């Protein structure tokens, strides 16, 4: 309703001109009745007058009908556009925990086919509603002409209502299942397109085609069942008004023979019965579309009713001057908590990723976090940027709890470069300037040079205007990482997190990046999540993370000399790196 009210001008225009069109539509048989009865004696002058009146009524009906269709369709498309924008805006507010448990195909289906179902109802529903109003006007006029003949004309209405209800109750559950299975199909298609390299590398095309065919057959079965139900009831719903028309011709003809009604009245009744057929013909379509839109609306509201887990508190402030001091105070965190919260599962004992973590980083310090896979290194970065909230404890920047800082301000000052960077299907320049769209060409070039990306970008056919493919897969992993690094350097955050950000880059290029980064890291608080010795060498201090806790810290040299766990982690990382190179 709020969305519909925002389009009240074309809506009111459609209602007004639609009402005029209805009145003129219902007036045509009435005018024809008067014309027949008054000219049946052969008065040519009256015949000409009534013909002109009918032409004028017809022209008025044409203009009003065109205007109200344009207005109502404009409202329908406007509501669809606004609803799509509303859904997308809400999706951007939802927390990572929602996307962790929701398939992308389900979301895409709701944003496309479900919203389209509502749009179709909004487009054609008012037209059908107008035809129902015309039925009421026609009924009122028919009652003024002949009560008994009117009742005879409408004798089939109870049957139409009865079979319409039967159709509605049988089609609604099938419609719900159909929409859900369309979402499943969208998920399969989405995963196959995004994961096409995995599919092809395992030669699993036949298996995936089989999954798609199975999902398509499920949709086919549901739609065939719905068609069977419509085939069972729609012909009856459409045929009953024709039966009513036959009864009118029979009874009205007898009345005309006995001079109880005029020829003009019988003509008007026949015209009105034909007019009354329109709503009943569309009744089945309206019921079907209403059920489909109802199911779609329920699925859309499942998303809109989802509350974001990470929100700004009422007292949240915007950071202005950031020194870069970071503290973790007795922080505990578990992903299992979020899954259990929605699945009503009992928590798994010992499922904490971060356990009683205490950490303090001084402004401008560069700290490396080293640990085995699953030790919680990347989780530290996700908690610092509030992708997730801690279960207990708190994280502070410059002494302020990050839950008291506005999210957009926090993430503007804390930049993250992930080991698996995501690039958009647009130009390289636009990808680099994503966090700073107003950046000049010179600033973009300088950021690319700092990330050692300028050379390979310049070698491309269109340079910085080269369009990268889906997720940037037309570039190598190392090239994507360098563009992602340039993107963050251009935004110039006060706190920078590099989460294995150079893991796919060869040693020679990485060395040049590190030489460049030393200038950028000066005076900037930096968190390095790494296992390469070359990256760790940038750090002032190294933290060894194990089991979600800091078990040791110091310089790289002191840890190598005194901690066997640290030595073994780096040895495994170096072995994996060499094997990957081979």
Domain locations along the chain: 2-304, 326-344+351-581
| Residue of 44 and 77 predicted with greater confidence | 77
Token pair for residue 450?
């700092």
Q: Could you give the C-alpha distances from 544 to 329, 367, 582, in angstroms and in order?
A: 17, 11, 28
Q: Which fold has domain 326-344+351-581?
A: Rossmann fold (3.40.50)
Helix (H) or strand (E) holding 543: strand 541-546
Cα(548)–Cα(394) distance, rounded to whole angstroms?
Answer: 15
Cα(349)–Cα(352) distance, rounded to whole angstroms?
Answer: 8
Asked if residues 31 and 1 have their Cβ atoms less than 8 Å apart, the reply is no
Asked whether the predicted pLDDT for residue 540 surpasses 70, the reply is yes
| Residue 240 buriedness (CB in 10 A; 0-12 / 13-18 / 19+) | buried
- Of 204, 207, 203, 209, give the one whose Cα is nearest residue 189: 209
Cα(74)–Cα(34) distance, rounded to whole angstroms?
Answer: 38
- Of 66, 72, 59, 64, give the one whose Cα is nearest residue 14: 72
Assign 3-state DSSP to the chain and report helix, strand, coil percentages, each to 5.
70, 10, 20
Spell out the residues 6+ positions from residue 58 whose beta carbon is closer than 8 angstroms to its own: 28
Q: What pairing do the DSSP bridges indicate for beta strands 392-397 and 326-333?
A: antiparallel
Which of 106-115, 258-267, 507-516, 547-556 is predicted with the least confidence, judged by mean pLDDT? 507-516
Phi and psi angles of residue 400, each rounded to the nearest 5 degrees, phi first? -105, 130
CA-based R_g, the chain, Å: 35
Q: What pLDDT, on a 0 to 100 scale, did the predictor assign at position 327?
A: 93
* Furthest C-alpha separation in the chain: 121
Q: What pLDDT, on a 0 to 100 scale, did the predictor assign at position 329?
A: 92
Q: Could you give the C-alpha distances from 418 to 15, 326, 445, 480, 506, in angstroms and in order?
A: 54, 20, 21, 10, 17
| Residue of 428 and 186 predicted with greater confidence | 428
Asked if residues 355 and 332 have their Cβ atoms less than 8 Å apart, the reply is yes
Mean pLDDT of the 304-308 span: 85
- Of 236, 265, 54, give the one whose Cα is nearest residue 162: 236
User: What is the tens place of the pLDDT at every residue in 325-363?
Assistant: 999 999 999 887 655 444 444 444 447 788 888 999 999
CATH architecture type of domain 2-304: Up-down Bundle (1.20)
CA torsion, ordered 142, 148, 151, 152, to nearest 10 deg: -110
Using pLDDT thresholds of 50, 70 and 90, give the confidence band for residue 519.
confident
Cα(22)–Cα(124) distance, rounded to whole angstroms?
Answer: 16
Sheet containing 414-417: which strands, arranged edge to edge? Answer: 414-417, 495-499, 525-529, 366-371, 541-546, 549-554
Mean pLDDT of the 551-566 span: 88
Q: Could you give the C-alpha distances from 267 to 31, 155, 270, 469, in angstroms and in order?
A: 11, 19, 5, 67
Using pLDDT thresholds of 50, 70 and 90, give the confidence band for residue 284.
low
Q: Up-side HSE of residue 60: CA atoms within 13 Å toward CB? A: 17
Asked whether the predicted pLDDT for residue 517 surpasses 60, the reply is yes
Cα(554)–Cα(568) distance, rounded to whole angstroms?
Answer: 16
Q: What pLDDT, on a 0 to 100 scale, did the predictor assign at position 277?
A: 65
User: What is the tens place of the pLDDT at every residue in 160-189?
Assistant: 778 877 777 777 778 778 777 877 777 777
Q: Could you give the C-alpha distances from 574 to 51, 240, 374, 512, 570, in angstroms and in order?
A: 95, 81, 18, 19, 6
Token pair for residue 60?
């008025």
Which DSSP category does 334 fall into? Answer: -
SS3 159: helix
SS3 476: coil
Mean pLDDT of the 473-500 span: 85
Mean pLDDT of the 205-229 span: 85
Cα(479)–Cα(280) distance, rounded to whole angstroms?
Answer: 63
Asked whether the predicted pLDDT for residue 314 surpasses 80, the reply is yes
Q: What pLDDT, on a 0 to 100 scale, did the predictor assign at position 442?
A: 92
Cα(147)–Cα(227) distance, rounded to whole angstroms?
Answer: 39
Mean pLDDT of the 472-491 span: 84
Cα(569)–Cα(563) distance, rounded to whole angstroms?
Answer: 10
Specify the length of the chain in residues: 582
Cα(487)–Cα(44) distance, rounded to whole angstroms?
Answer: 84
Mean pLDDT of the 367-387 span: 87
Phi and psi angles of residue 433, each rounded to the nearest 5 degrees, phi first? -90, 15
- Of 462, 504, 512, 454, give the one whose Cα is nearest residue 483: 454
Asked if residues 97 and 311 have their Cβ atoms less than 8 Å apart, the reply is no
Mean pLDDT of the chain: 81
Spell out the residues 6+ positions from residue 549 whose beta carbon is closer than 8 angstroms to its own: 355, 356, 357
Which DSSP category does 439 fall into? Answer: -
Q: What pLDDT, on a 0 to 100 scale, did the predictor assign at position 582?
A: 38
Asked whether the predicted pLDDT for residue 547 surpasses 50, the reply is yes
């Amino acid at each position: 309703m709020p969305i519909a009210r925002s389009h009240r001008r074309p809506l009111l225009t459609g209602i007004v001109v639609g009402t005029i069109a209805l009145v003129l539509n219902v007036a045509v048989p009435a005018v024809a009745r008067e014309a027949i009865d008054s000219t049946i004696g052969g008065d040519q002058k009256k015949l000409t007058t009534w013909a002109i009146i009918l032409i004028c009524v017809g022209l008025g009906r044409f203009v009003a009908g065109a205007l109200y269709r344009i207005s109502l369709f404009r409202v329908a498309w406007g509501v669809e556009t606004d609803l799509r924008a509303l859904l997308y805006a809400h999706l951007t507010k939802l927390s990572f925990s929602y996307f962790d448990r929701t398939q992308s195909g389900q979301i895409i289906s709701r944003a496309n086919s479900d919203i389209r179902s509502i749009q179709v109802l909004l487009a054609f529903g008012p037209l059908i509603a107008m035809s129902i109003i015309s039925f009421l006007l026609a009924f009122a006029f028919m009652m003024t002409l002949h009560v008994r003949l009117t009742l005879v004309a409408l004798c089939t209405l109870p049957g139409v209502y009865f079979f319409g209800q039967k159709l509605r109750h049988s089609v609604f559950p099938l419609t719900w299942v159909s929409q859900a299975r369309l979402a499943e199909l969208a998920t399969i298609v989405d995963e196959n397109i995004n994961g096409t390299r995995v599919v092809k590398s395992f030669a699993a095309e036949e298996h995936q085609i089989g999954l798609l065919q199975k999902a398509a057959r499920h949709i086919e079965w549901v739609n065939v069942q719905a068609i069977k139900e419509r085939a069972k009831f729609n012909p009856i719903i459409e045929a009953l008004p024709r039966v009513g028309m036959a009864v009118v011709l029979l009874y009205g003809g007898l009345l005309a023979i006995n001079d109880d009604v005029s020829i003009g009245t019988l003509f008007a009744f026949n015209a009105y019965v034909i007019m009354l057929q329109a709503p009943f013909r569309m009744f089945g379509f309206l019921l079907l579309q209403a059920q489909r839109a109802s199911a779609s609306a329920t699925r859309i509201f499942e998303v809109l009713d989802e509350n974001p887990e990470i929100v700004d508190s009422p007292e949240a402030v915007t950071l202005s001057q950031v020194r870069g001091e970071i503290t973790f105070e007795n922080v505990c965190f578990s992903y299992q908590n979020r899954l259990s919260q929605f699945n009503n599962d009992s928590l798994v004992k010992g499922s904490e990723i971060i356990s009683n973590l205490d950490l303090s980083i001084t402004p401008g310090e560069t700290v490396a976090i080293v640990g085995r896979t699953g030790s919680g290194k990347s989780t530290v970065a996700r908690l610092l940027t509030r992708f997730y909230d801690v279960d207990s404890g708190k994280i502070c920047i410059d002494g302020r709890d990050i839950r008291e800082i506005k999210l957009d301000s926090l993430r503007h000052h804390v930049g993250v470069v992930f080991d698996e960077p995501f690039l958009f299907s647009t130009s390289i320049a636009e990808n680099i300037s994503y966090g700073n769209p107003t950046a000049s060409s010179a600033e973009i070039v300088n950021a690319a040079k700092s990330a050692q990306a300028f050379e390979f970008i310049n070698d491309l056919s269109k340079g910085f205007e080269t369009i990268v493919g889906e997720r940037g897969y037309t570039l190598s992993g190392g090239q994507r990482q360098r563009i992602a690094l340039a993107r963050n350097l251009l935004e110039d955050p006060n706190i920078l997190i590099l989460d294995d950000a150079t893991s796919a880059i060869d040693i020679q290029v990485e060395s040049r990046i590190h030489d460049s980064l030393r200038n950028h890291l000066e005076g900037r608080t930096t968190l390095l999540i790494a296992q390469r010795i070359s990256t760790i060498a940038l750090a002032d201090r190294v933290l060894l993370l194990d089991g979600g806790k800091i078990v040791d810290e110091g310089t790289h040299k002191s840890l190598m000399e005194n901690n066997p766990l640290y030595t073994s982690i780096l040895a495994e990382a170096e072995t994996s790196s060499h094997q990957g190179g081979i």
